[in-house]
Structure 1
Amino acid sequence: MALARHVLLVEDDPLVRMTLVEGLSDSGFAVLEAEDAEMALRMLARHPEIALLLTDINLPGADGFALARAARVLRPDLPVVYASGRFRQAEPGRGLAGAPFLAKPFSVACAAATIAGAMRALG
């Protein structure tokens, strides 16, 4: 069975989101996109093929930490990757255990490798 490669990208900056969607698509991922946590949760509920959540921490409304916890209620085994331009690492105790963190700016190649590794880790 082929590894699912559908990623839900949650990023409120349109330019960053567009760049990542294009780059991750070129890297072989099918990317769905959302600009906030509310939209992301609706997409997770409607798209069972989503295999990983890549979320910015700083989102309008619910932040990426709250989004990841809510996503895990819907999908308990969903891998999560956090990203932020304001922090160099996830705040201790706020992120999900074992969830990778990408400090912005990061390359698309780095994001693709991190996503692939998180998907592999799940099995």
Structure 2
Amino acid sequence: MRGHQSVLLIVEDDFLVRLTLVDALGDLGFEVLEAEDARAALSILCDHPEIDLMLTDINLPGGSDGFALARAARVIRAGLPIIYASGRYSRAEPKQQVPGSRFIAKPFTPTLAAAVISDLMGAEPTHGQIRPERLGLDRRI
């Protein structure tokens, strides 16, 4: 019998970055849902209570940034693990982040994202052996 497959919500407006993350994290055994902006992300979050974690870009189109999205997501799902990502910031201002969240500076590898996801969810990576040739470790997001 197969264990629980973690469900991730990736919120990223750059199509190629989102596609790369979705494909790579899917290859690692995660089930990945995706959204290009905060409005779509909140809709998906409401429709999918099985989401275990949200990784969001800080700079999003449509007037809401990743910080506002995370605060809204925590109203819907208190305690939802959140990871922020950005290429414009070297770190996220702690006062803007929701409690217990993490930050990853772009560019980052999908392997690093998977490690932070597993760490934040408090679990050892159980998503199979990471094969560098499948992940393109030189490929950065």
Determine which of 61, 74, 88 is the counterpart of 2:76: 74
Match of 1:35, as an amino acid?
E
Aligned length: 121
Structure 1 contact 4–49 (Cα < 8 Å) conserved: no
Q: CA deviation at 1:77?
A: 1.6
TM-score by length of 1: 0.94
Bigger fraction of residues in helix:
1
SS at match of 1:82: strand
Give the greater-gyration-radius structure (CA).
2
Structure 2: distance between partners of 1:34 and 1:25: 15
Name the counterpart of 1:19. 20
String of CA shifts for 1:21-65, please: whole Å, max 9, x gaps: 001001111000000000000000000110001000000120000
Which consecutive residues of structure 2, in runs of 5 or more, have no partner in the other structure?
124-141
Runs of 4+ in 1 over 3 A off after TM superposition: 1-4
TM-score by length of 2: 0.82
Output the aligned Cα RMSD: 1.4
Alpha carbons of 1:90 and 1:10: their partners in 2 closer, same or farther (altered >3 Å)?
A: same
Match of 2:34, as an amino acid?
E
Which consecutive residues of structure 1, in runs of 5 or more, have no partner in the other structure?
none
